[in-house]
Amino acid sequence: MFHRISAAAVVICLTSSVALAQGAKLTDPQIAHIAYTAGEIDIKAAKQALDKASNKDVKEFAEGMVRDHEAVNKQALDLVKKLKVTPEDNDTSRTLSKQASEKLGELGKLKGAAFDKAYIANEVAYHKTVDNALETQLIPSASNAELKGLLQTGLKIFQGHEQHAEHVAAELK
């Protein structure tokens, strides 16, 4: 149930970008901000896991999330500087941040194996949803070829994260 609630919350957040546009596609500055925000959310969750996780595999997964998401976000920042684009905060990125903060609060109350399972379940749901949003909304809406390429690279990395999280989740049962 925790897993389904997490996935539903993220789906609502990410699909709100379509409702926000009402027929108009997202702009590249909005897409850049949404993608960057999604990475920052996972970095914060992973850092919380590094402090709270009790399982070695969960800690290793979290280390990978920090490393990979920081690297992709650095590439994103370098690209927006190169293109002289200012990422644009929007309803989707604000909602993502708000709900992530609430989720970190929920996870922060857990300890030991309960934390490990909840964190990994949330990571599976989060990566499934972000991967879907990249594939169906953000990549198709991107106008700039370099931004689109970075999002496509990110999608491949995040699909690997999803598979890794599923593997860790299966081992925790």
Domains of the chain: 2-10+26-172 (1.20.1260.10)
d(CA 161, CA 163): 5
The pLDDT-based confidence of 24 (bands split at 50, 70, 90) is low
Per the model's pLDDT, the better-predicted residue between 173 and 66 turns out to be 66
Q: Which of 137, 138, 136, 128 is nearest to 158 (CA)?
A: 128
- pLDDT, tens only, 98-110: 999 999 999 999 9
Amino acid type, 55: N
- Written as six digits, the tokens of 172 are 């925790």
Question: What is the gyration radius of the CA atoms in the chain, in angstroms?
Answer: 16
- pLDDT, tens only, 110-146: 999 999 999 999 999 999 999 999 999 999 999 999 9
Q: pTM of the prediction?
A: 0.84
